[in-house]
Amino acid sequence: MIRHAVLQLRPEKGHIKQNLAHLKEALLALKPERPEVVVLPEAYPTGYFLQGGVRELALTQEELHEALAELHAEVWKDPLDLVIGFYERDGGEYYNSAAYLELGGRGILHVHRKVFLPTYGVFDEERFLARGHDVRAFDTRFGRAAVLICEDFWHSITATIAALDGAEVIYVPSASPARGFTGKEPANVARWKALAAAVAAEHGLYVVLASLVGAEGGKMLSGGSVVAGPEGGLLAEAPLFEEALLLTEIDLERIPPVRYDNPLLADLKSGLPLVFPELKRIVEAL
């Protein structure tokens, strides 16, 4: 069993030091629970709606690691794995990224750069950011994982690639403004729950969604973080519009029997050579 903590936090836009101090407080309060993996939302160190402010506030991977390693050394003795979304600076390029770090151990294990940058409604990411080009699983000390960022997860092909690459857990840092208020909860929150459950069930894996809360530029970020299990059920749900902590146990030993009873991923692996020429044909026609 791997003890996970999802920290659904509210950052102060543009205040990195203040947000890291808030994270430190949250980790100190979390110590008695002894989580092994802590998951934070998209763009937590700075807030999400930065637009042109990305150039001034983006961090290099080394800067992110240094800040988090220092924080970890102050509050935690044991190794701690941490997933966090951040705006990344790499030379003259800027990305919406998320890092998986083994603090007190090997450091940064993987950085995912957001592939699908929304440019509709209240979003204008591609105006200020470069696209990522990779979707890959990677090895952690607990098993094999992948990271997707917000809209990446709304495209079913990305989670499928991660699953085919061996992911047992998909971490999804998100910043999702509330929209669609005709039901008992915002429509985006309902869709996140449905997507998390569907992806987990289709591929027989865990989905851990960490979503920002707070108001930025008149937009309310909804929260509603969830954890979904390989049977397709929601194991934990956070409230809307407020900071929250989700604690849940992830049991990777549940995955093999679930995939045995519902071998969709195995069938996909067997059938992939048959459909790959069609995918290639479509890509070449674009």
Q: pLDDT digits over 245-275, tens only?
A: 999 999 999 999 999 999 999 999 999 999 9
What's the whole-model pTM score? 0.97
Asked if the model's pLDDT at residue 207 lies above 80, the reply is yes
At residue 124 the predicted structure's pLDDT band, cuts being 50, 70 and 90, is confident
Give the whole-number percent of the chain exceeding pLDDT 70.
Answer: 100
Q: What is the mean pLDDT of residues 232-249?
A: 97
Higher pLDDT, 247 or 216: 247
Q: What is the mean pLDDT of the chain?
A: 96
Asked if the model's pLDDT at residue 1 lies above 80, the reply is yes
Buried b (16+ CB within 10 A) or exposed e, 85-113: bbbbbeeeebbbbbbbbbbeeeebbbbbb
- Contacts of 86 by beta carbon, 8 Å cutoff, 6+ apart: 43, 44, 45, 46, 58, 59, 64, 97, 98, 99
- Contacts of 286 by beta carbon, 8 Å cutoff, 6+ apart: none
Q: pLDDT digits over 88-100, tens only?
A: 999 999 999 999 9
| pLDDT for position 95 | 98
| pLDDT for position 184 | 85
In angstroms, what is the C-alpha Rg of the chain? 18
Query: What letter would DSSP give residue 12?
Result: P
User: Which phi-psi region, left, alpha or beta, contains residue 253 (left: φ > 0; alpha: ψ -120 to 50)?
Assistant: alpha
Asked if the model's pLDDT at residue 122 lies above 90, the reply is no
User: Which phi-psi region, left, alpha or beta, contains residue 31 (left: φ > 0; alpha: ψ -120 to 50)?
Assistant: alpha
Asked if the model's pLDDT at residue 183 lies above 80, the reply is no
As a whole number of Å, the end-to-end CA separation of the chain is: 45
**Residue 103 — φ and ψ, nearest 5°?**
-75, 135
Instruction: Specify the pairing of strand 244-250 against strand 219-222.
Output: unpaired
Asked if the model's pLDDT at residue 6 lies above 80, the reply is yes
| pLDDT for position 145 | 98
Is residue 279 within 8 Å of 38, Cβ to Cβ?
no
Asked if the model's pLDDT at residue 121 lies above 90, the reply is no
Asked if the model's pLDDT at residue 85 lies above 80, the reply is yes
| pLDDT for position 13 | 95
Q: What is the mean pLDDT of residues 2-8?
A: 98
Q: What is the mean pLDDT of residues 137-149?
A: 98
Cα 55 to its chain centre, rounded Å, is 22
| pLDDT for position 217 | 79
Continuous segment of H or E residues that includes residue 39: strand 37-39
Q: Could you give the domains of the chain?
A: 2-285 (3.60.110.10)
Q: pLDDT digits over 45-58, tens only?
A: 999 999 889 999 99
Asked if the model's pLDDT at residue 280 lies above 90, the reply is yes
At residue 15 the predicted structure's pLDDT band, cuts being 50, 70 and 90, is very high
Cα distances from 142 to residues 139, 171, 251, 252, in angstroms, run: 8, 14, 10, 9
